[in-house]
Every structure is written in structure tokens, then in C-alpha cells.
Amino acid sequence: RQNKPILKPHSYLQALVTEFQVTDSTEAKEQVLANLANFAYDPSNYEYLRQLQVLDLFLDMLTEDNETLVEFAMGKGCPEHPPLSPGQGHRPRAPFGP
């Protein structure tokens, strides 16, 4: 069994973006977009997503005819991270004070 090198988040996300851009397969695009959407749930990935213009990619997908791509771009239907209920998730920090 051959060990694959572990990619850093930026490199892995870059590989996903590249795969999304070069593939002609609708199914592959759906899978990649779902993976990107799952990464978007973690605030520590935001800077990588911004640098790779993934946010623009999500916005572009909102006008697609493919309903699955639209839903994944909106963060709906991603299997690993269901939508948060009120009171769940990260709470914004106040800019001043405790």
C-alpha cells in the first residue's frame, strides 16, 4: 500500500478548485462543490477560500440550472454538516469588551 502525501489545507482546496474547473462531469462538479461547501463551515478555512476565490465560485453557481449545484453553493444538502439551528455554531465576538 502506497502512502499518499498529506496536503495542507490551501493545497488541498487548490486541488479541489482546479478539479472543479477542469472536469466536464456534472457528478464530479457536484461532489467537489459539496466538499468545498463542507470546508466553508470551518472559519479557519475562510482565508484559504477567499484567496482561491471559492466564494465567487459559490456565487457563480447560484445561477446554474443544476439544482444540486445551487443547493451546495448555498450550503444546503452537504452531507457532513447539516444546517445549524439557532443557538448552534460560532458566536460572533463583540469588537470591544468581554
Q: What is the spatial distance between Cα 75 and Cα 85, in angstroms, rounded to a whole number?
A: 14
**Looking at the domain assignment, is residue 1 inside a domain?**
no
Looking at residue 88, what is its pLDDT?
A: 41
**Looking at the domain assignment, is residue 92 inside a domain?**
no
Per residue in 5-34, pLDDT (tens digit) is: 666 888 899 999 999 999 999 999 999 999
**Looking at the domain assignment, is residue 54 inside a domain?**
yes
pLDDT above 80: residue 82: no
**Looking at the domain assignment, is residue 91 inside a domain?**
no
**Looking at the domain assignment, is residue 33 inside a domain?**
yes
pTM over 0.75: no
CA distances, 70 to each of 29, 38, 53, 64 (Å):
11, 14, 17, 6
**Looking at the domain assignment, is residue 89 inside a domain?**
no
Q: Pick the residue with more confidence: 2 or 19? A: 19
**Looking at the domain assignment, is residue 28 inside a domain?**
yes
What distance lies between CA 52 and its chain's CA centroid? 11
